[in-house]
Amino acid sequence: MDIVTRDAHTISRRQISENALKVLYRLSKSGYKAYLVGGGVRDILLGMEPKDFDVVTNATPEEIKKLFRNSRLVGRRFRLAHIVFGRDVIEVATFRGHHGETNDKISKSNAEGRLLRDNVYGEIDEDAERRDFTINALYYDISDYSIHSYGGGIRDLDDRTIRLIGDPETRYREDPVRMLRAVRFATKLDMSIESKTAEPINALAPLLKDIPAARMYEEVLKLFFAGKAKANYDMMRDFGLFQPLFPQISALIKEQPNGNTAKMLNAVMTNTDLRVSQDKPVTPAFFYAALLWYPLKQRADDIALESGLSHYDAHVAAMGDVMEQQCRTISIPRRFSTPAKDIWQLQLRLERSQGTRAFKLLEHPKFRAAYDLLLLRGEAEGGNIGKIATWWKSFVEADETERSDIAKSSNKKGPSRNRNAHQRKRRRPKPKSDNSGSSEVKPTNKG
C-alpha cells in the first residue's frame, strides 16, 4: 500500500459531489473511517468527470442505516446502503474481508467458484485485496485528504494498464462479469489489459452463461450505451465474450462471417456511438430490434417452411421465440421488448406501404425507429431492400408537396413488393360438385 499525501495528488474536494462529501463527513464525525473509493477517485486522477461517487467505511450496513434516515439497504450477494438525495444516490459499502472456514453462513460459492453470497466484513487492507483491478483499489481518505493506493494502482494508472488483483483465473471464477469489466475499462479509459489478466478470458468466457440474466441486462447497457459500443463489441469478439450473451446472433455470424448479420452489428454499434457523441437518445428497444433482426428473419423462414404459415404469421410467431431465447441470457424488460416487436412488425409494412399508404404509416409512434432499422437493413443487404430504403429516405426527407408527388408517382408505377418476402400462392378454384357430391367434371358432348 502506498500513501499519496494531499500535496502530491491533484484531487480537490471541489471535484467531489456535495452529497458524497456530506456522507463522508458524517461517517467520519461519527467515529467511523470513511473513504471515497474506486471509479470516482480514478476518474478524477485521469482528468475525467466521474459519473458516480462510491463510499466505503468500517460501519456495518445496519449502523449506516441508523446514521442516515434517507438510506435503504440493498443487495443479497453483498449488502450495501444507498443514501438517497433526491435523484442522486450515494452507494456506501462496508469493508469486505477474507473468507474463512467459519463464515459459511455469510459467504457462499458454487462449484465453479462463483460467489453467491459475500457479506464478509473486514478492514481496509482486506477490502483492497478483494477489489477487482488495481486502478479501482484507490481510496481517498476524508480525514487527511490522502490517497491510499493498493497493488500499484497509481503506477498502473500512469502506465495505462488494466491489472487484476490476485490470481486472474480465481478472480474470474469468483465473478465472471469481471471479464466484461476488464474490456469495458480498457476501452473507456484507453488502456491495455495486462497479459496475465487477459490470458484466461477466452477459456473462461462460457462462465458468463451462469450469470443471472437480470444482471447481464445492466452490464450490456454499460458496454454498449456509453459511447464505446464498437470498441467493446470488437474486443468481446476477440475474447469470446460476445457468444455467451448473444448465442443466436453469434451462430449466424459463424455461418457467414461477412454476411448481413455481421454488417448489421457493425452498423448498429457505429450508429449507437455516433448518437451518444451527439447527445441523441439511444434506446434498448431499437438496439435489440436491430441486433436480433436477422435471427428473427431466419426463425420466421424456418417456421414458414415447417408449418406452412404465411410469411406474416410466421414473422409474428418468430418474434416471441427469438425474444424468449435472448432473455435467457439477457433479461430484457417488457417496456423494451414490446416496442422492439412493434419495430419488427413495422418492417413488413414498410416493405409494402409505398405510395399514398405511406402517409398513414408516418403517424405510427414507432415509425422513426422502424425507419432507422430499414435504413440499416438497406445498407447491409442492398438489392430490393436497398431500393425500398432509398424510396422511404426520399419520402421522409421531402416536404409535403414533394411527398405527394413521390407518393403519386409510386402509385402510377404500381405497388412495390419485396421480392425477398414469401408470397402466398393462389389456390386453384375447386371444381363444382354435382348433387351426388362427386367433384368429377362431366365431359361435354361435342357430337
Residue 144 appears among annotated catalytic residues: no
Cα of first residue to Cα of last residue in the chain, in angstroms, is 114
Strand-pair category, 54-57 with 88-94: parallel
Q: Which three cell numbers stand for residue 115?
A: 460467489
Query: Active site residue: 43, 54, 127, 273, which one?
Result: 54
| Alpha helix positions (H), 327-434 | 334-352, 357-362, 367-381, 383-397, 400-413
116: left (phi over 0), alpha (psi -120 to 50) or beta: alpha
Query: Active site residue: 43, 132, 141, 273, which one?
Result: 132
Cβ–Cβ < 8 Å for 92, 78? no
CA 101 to chain centre: 38
Cα separation values, 165 from 123, 124, 318, 438, Å: 17, 15, 45, 84
Phi and psi dihedrals of 36, rounded to 5? -80, 135
Cβ–Cβ < 8 Å for 36, 139? yes
Concatenated DSSP letters of 90-123: EEEEEPB----TT-TTTEEE-TTS-EEEE--B--
Q: By three-state DSSP, how is residue 173 classified?
A: helix
Q: Which three cell numbers stand for residue 140?
A: 481517498
Residue 54 appears among annotated catalytic residues: yes
Q: By three-state DSSP, how is residue 57 classified?
A: strand
Which residues are CB-neighbours of 382 under 8 A, at least 6 positions away? Answer: none
Phi and psi dihedrals of 12, rounded to 5? -120, 150
Count the residues in the chain. 447
Cβ–Cβ < 8 Å for 372, 379? no
Residue 342 appears among annotated catalytic residues: no
User: H or E element: which one contains 261?
Assistant: helix 260-277
How far is residue 411's CA from residue 408's CA, in Å, rounded to a whole number?
5
**What residue type is assigned to position 337 of the chain?**
S
How far is residue 360's CA from residue 319's CA, in Å, rounded to a whole number?
24
How far is residue 166's CA from residue 147's CA, in Å, rounded to a whole number?
21
Query: Active site residue: 52, 175, 234, 301, which one?
Result: 52
Cβ–Cβ < 8 Å for 137, 150? yes
Catalytic residue positions, numbered: 52, 54, 132
